[in-house]
Amino acid sequence: MSGTEDLLVEPDRLATELDRADPPTLLDVRWRLAGPPGREDYTAGHLPGAVFVDLDTELCGRPGAAGRHPLPDPAALQTALRAAGVRAGHPVVVYDGGDGLSAARAWWTLRWACHRAVRVLHGGFPAWVAAGGPVSTDAPAPAPGDVTVRPGELPVLDAGEAARLAAADAGVLLDVRGAPRYRGETEPIDPVAGHVPGAVNLPAPEYVTEGRFPAAEALRERFAAAGVTPEAPVGAYCGSGVTAAQAVLALHLAGRPDAALYVGSWSDWVADPDRPVATG
């Protein structure tokens, strides 16, 4: 079971670590689904020494049939991470604007790429500022890193695997979008409304509040109420694999490091008109 300290770091603990001779590598991954780009926030002020990495263009692949935020090309991801100073085996801390979404997807991507020493700043940039942490506008020039991307460290689902998991009596596929989108009453982004048949709705606000996670036992109780048992396979999806990455982080915190991410999520599912869609 993964410990909270291996997945999250509080601002005061991070401040202590940054005072060390060889501090963690900081990645600023602030992002908004509807824009503007997070780089504008970074330019206005960021944690000292942090390097900006763009979720859309560096941590994900090009939008297309595989979804709006598909898996990145491993070689391109390795180039981006090395440019940001990520070193093999060296600790990385990622942070976002406070909702915990892009930081969770960055955490998941680095873990998927076999970089295990990565944590999320709990509460993101707002928590750092609230704790009195210093803010800088200087853009660092990190020494090139030497990380090697080896995909496959974390489990992923494709559409067929997601369908089988949703249909299985012994497993659970969580749809973590809001209930109206799950029911098919509204769909503000993708061309078709509804959900994967058999998926269970567990909206993100039920297990995370403004980017902060409750204790592990509370998380286990909330996932159990959605049908997640300690033994059964579990996966998660959302609109494009960002909020669902946060669900996978929450599942890790609850003791389920085997939780799988349907990376393409709903935006991949509806790209094929032959795939069934459930509503209600």
What amino acid positions are annotated as catalytic residues?
Answer: 238
Three-state SS for 261-276 is EECCHHHHHCCCCCCC
Of the candidates 29, 25, 32, the one whose C-alpha atom is nearest the C-alpha of residue 53 is 29
Single-letter amino acid code for the residue at 199? A
- DSSP-derived letter for residue 92 is E
Which helix (H) or strand (E) segment is 102 a member of?
A: helix 101-112
CA distance 113 to 58: 13
CA distance 105 to 108: 5
| Strand, coil or helix: 260 | strand
CA distance 32 to 23: 28
| Strand, coil or helix: 237 | strand
Locus of tokens 């999520």: 265
Locus of tokens 């159990």: 224
